[in-house]
Amino acid sequence: MELLETIKCKDGRLFNLPYHQARFNLALTKFFPGVPKPELSELIKIPESCVSGLFKCRVVYSEKINLIEFLAHQYRPVNSIRLVEANNINYSCKYANRNALQQLFSQRGGCDDILMVKQGCITDSFTANPVFFDGIKWWTPDTPLLAGTQRARLLAENKISLCRVTLNNLHRFTKIGLINALQDMSDMPVIPISQLKHQ
């Protein structure tokens, strides 16, 4: 079993490292107790070719670091989202194997992304934690499949708040944003709730 950290690297700087380190440490403790927990800041060396521009730094690991790679990144436009039932999925850690998520993503029809629904509660999109705007504040579901690092930072900074988001109360919100390690609230896609399609 391989696990993954995806870290934003922009213009030679790694973002949100304390939150990635915390999740990395937690996963090692859960799956590989007793294994040393190296510092990501010491492990990751940014190549000369990646000191300008936006890159995705992928750290693939199990008991040891298996791969560190830098991939050029472009934001994927998201203008419409389809609700997809995902009652049987478990993705509480960031696994390198995303086959189960990929199968759900394939149900998006003509939409750009999916929003997963587990036992009536909104969880995640294919690659992001959603945030919902009610006209005053941004909220994120308290039922994520994977509690992302950007989500953790924004909660700690009180820029978003937790609430239960269900199929029954989606009408309270006007917009959906998608946050992940590479996109925070300043560059996330924002979609009107009217562009949310039902299965």
CATH architecture of 3-72: 2-Layer Sandwich (3.30)
Q: How far is it, in rounded angstroms, from Cα 108 to Cα 105?
A: 6
Radius of gyration of the chain (CA): 17
* 81-197 is a CATH 1.10.540.10 domain: no
The token pair that represents 194 in the structure block: 């009217």
Indicate the pTM of the whole model: 0.94
Spell out the per-residue pLDDT of the chain, length 199, in tens: 899 999 999 999 999 999 999 999 999 999 999 999 999 999 999 999 999 999 999 999 999 999 999 999 998 899 999 999 999 998 889 999 999 999 999 999 999 999 999 999 999 999 999 999 999 999 999 999 999 999 999 999 999 999 999 999 999 999 999 999 999 999 999 999 998 998 6
Q: How far is it, in rounded angstroms, from Cα 159 to Cα 34?
A: 36
Q: Under 8 Å CB-to-CB from 29, ≥6 apart: which residues?
A: 37
Sort 119 into a burial class: Cβ within 10 Å, 0-12 / 13-18 / 19+: exposed
Domain positions in the chain are 3-72, 81-197
3-72 against 81-197: fold identical? no
